[in-house]
Amino acid sequence: MLSRYVFWGGRRRDVRRVDQREGAFVDIHGHAIMIMVIAIVVLNLLDAAFTLLFLSHGGQELNPFVQVVLEFGGHPWPFVLLKTAGIGMACSFLVLTKNFRPAQVGLWAVLIGYTVLLGWHLYLATRLDSTA
């Protein structure tokens, strides 16, 4: 799964035999999956920004773990860093295992989930102006 070639120039872009493609590990991942991961990270950062915006307008964080992180030191940076590191590690694992069907479904589920969540945040943001 991880080899020296992952960090210093990959060797395998694809498997040699089509019947071995499902479940094979490769070193080079391609532009499409990179764009997908960048989109997920950007959506994750937007989610964090909207969360902080809504909390500053009197909203409540329902996740008790996130609430503890938000209260840590009184600054939002631990929350943003932990949230970004968490999604970064999850995406890294899903990219490494991209030729496994559950990883493919997982990447799409995360991307679609964050896209829907951004839509919800945008809807709530329009409601902030009307309630002020």
Burial 54-78 (b: 16+ CB within 10 A, else e): beeeeeebeeeeeeebbeeeeebee
Which residues in the chain land under pLDDT 50? 1
How many helices and strands (H and E) does the chain possess?
5, 0
The pTM assigned to this predicted structure is 0.76
- Angstrom distance (rounded) from CA 74 to CA 76: 7
- Measured in degrees and rounded to the nearest 5, phi and psi for residue 116 equal -65, -40
- Angstrom distance (rounded) from CA 102 to CA 107: 9
Please give the DSSP secondary-structure letter assigned to residue 13.
S
pLDDT given for residue 64 in this prediction: 92
- Domain ranges for the chain, please list them: 30-131
| Kind plus residue range of the DSSP H or E element containing 123 | helix 101-131
Q: What angle do CA 119, 120, 121 make, to 5 degrees?
A: 90
pLDDT given for residue 8 in this prediction: 54
